[in-house]
A and B are shown apart, each in its own frame.
Chain A
């Protein structure tokens, strides 16, 4: 056995594996996000330092206002951690998400692939399904994988959304974003509580969409039109 033989054997059998332009784009998107997060953290440290320097109710209310502005709210109900992601342009981003919901709703279908229970017979999209889809999209956007779901680059025509209602207990919506075949994009699906429209889990699926590779978020995401609170653990 020599180096040339080994190299040749590996090149031959791994030739299909490349680092594509899409991979590069995702790396740049990730570092862009990371830089933005760093700036936010820096702002927070500054705000806390200013608050410590100040005193009394005025300072407390000032920091609360600041937290609300930059979008960070501690929630004592959850002992792990809590983070509220937001920005000055938050509302306009929500509007853009809603536009995506409308777009994806056109092609929304129900499927029976995820659970044992039968899918609903009526394929018409109703308000609950749209609401579940909206929660899932918000969650993909802010919680799951910002590189996958970048509002600037996400093209809804490359995906098809599907929604399944799971009977029993409180009931759960299973929402999947299925990428166009051959796009090399990941599948994700979200479990959304049907009773209070909270996100429960986000799964990242294998490239063929048949098995969970990892649960990348486990927790609760509460959703209102002008509020977004995520509490839980990333996988």
Chain B
């Protein structure tokens, strides 16, 4: 009984540590996939519930952040696949961000907006490599794709951003 209590307490502590350390990062990454703040919070919560199932005294993950990102991204992709998500008429960014964009045409704002407009497979490269500062080897693990594909997509994403930043087309 004591051992069971200890294992449970360990899991709770591990979960708390993960949420304290990575919670906000996970919400933000989920937002870049779902473009909805409420759904991003839901997806982040689901991510930690899924992570909890793997925790315990024997839990040992070399790269906690990459591991959590993988769960979060898979959760977001599951959300994106559901029919109710596809039926909802959602904007690219929430109203407040759109309004903010009108008042804030800074270069950073344009960059943020352009990244969110990229097709998913290029957007996630920018998010993981540039924003989350993950190594290519981590991205390989997270997305389950080859290193050469990552480099190719990163190149393509950079090209597309250059085009949009220079006033070119927006490829959606």
- Chain A interfacial positions (CB closer than 8 Å to B): 1-3, 5-10, 12-14, 16-19, 23-24, 26-28, 30-31, 34, 186, 206-207, 211, 213-215, 235
Q: Which of A14, A18, A28, A213 lies in contact with B38, CB distance below 8 A? A: A213
Residue in B closest to A12 when the chains form the complex, CB atoms: B108
Cβ of B69 within 8 Å of any chain A Cβ, yes or no, is: no
Residues in A neighbouring B12, C-beta threshold 8 A: 28
Residues in B neighbouring A34, C-beta threshold 8 A: 49, 52-53
The answer to whether A6 touches B23 (Cβ under 8 A) is no
Q: Which of B24, B84, B109 lies in contact with A19, CB distance below 8 A? A: B24
How far is it, in angstroms, between the C-alpha of A2 and the C-alpha of B111 when the chains are bound? 11
Q: Given A12-B112, A19-B27, A28-B12, is A213 in contact with B133 using a C-beta cutoff of 8 Å?
A: no
How far is it, in angstroms, between the C-alpha of A207 and the C-alpha of B39 when the chains are bound? 9
Determine how close the nearest CB of chain A comes to the CB of B51; give it in whole angstroms: 9
The answer to whether A19 touches B37 (Cβ under 8 A) is no
The answer to whether A27 touches B15 (Cβ under 8 A) is yes
Q: Which of B40-48, B56-64, B139-147 contacts A (4 or more CB under 8 A)?
A: B40-48
Q: Which of A2, A17, A26, A235 lies in contact with B28, CB distance below 8 A? A: A17
The answer to whether B131 touches A5 (Cβ under 8 A) is no
- Chain B interfacial positions (CB closer than 8 Å to A): 12, 15-16, 19, 23-24, 26-28, 31-32, 37-41, 44-45, 48-49, 52-53, 82, 84-85, 88, 97, 100, 108-109, 111-112, 115, 126-127, 129-131, 133, 158, 161-162
Determine how close the nearest CB of chain A comes to the CB of B74; give it in whole angstroms: 17
Dominant SS among interface residues on chain B: helix
Closest 10 A/B residue pairs (Cβ)? A19-B23, A6-B130, A9-B108, A214-B84, A207-B38, A9-B112, A14-B28, A27-B48, A9-B111, A18-B24
Determine how close the nearest CB of chain A comes to the CB of B45; give it in whole angstroms: 5
Q: Given A3-B130, A34-B49, is A10 in contact with B28 using a C-beta cutoff of 8 Å?
A: yes
How far is it, in angstroms, between the C-alpha of A7 and the C-alpha of B131 when the chains are bound? 5
Could you list some 10 contacts between A and B, CB below 8 A? Answer: A1-B161, A3-B133, A10-B32, A10-B131, A23-B44, A24-B16, A24-B23, A27-B52, A30-B45, A235-B82
The answer to whether B88 touches A213 (Cβ under 8 A) is yes
How far is it, in angstroms, between the C-alpha of A13 and the C-alpha of B131 when the chains are bound? 12
The answer to whether A7 touches B130 (Cβ under 8 A) is yes
How far is it, in angstroms, between the C-alpha of A31 and the C-alpha of B53 when the chains are bound? 9
Determine how close the nearest CB of chain A comes to the CB of B73; give it in whole angstroms: 16
How far is it, in angstroms, between the C-alpha of A18 and the C-alpha of B44 when the chains are bound? 10
The answer to whether B109 touches A13 (Cβ under 8 A) is yes
The answer to whether B38 touches A13 (Cβ under 8 A) is no
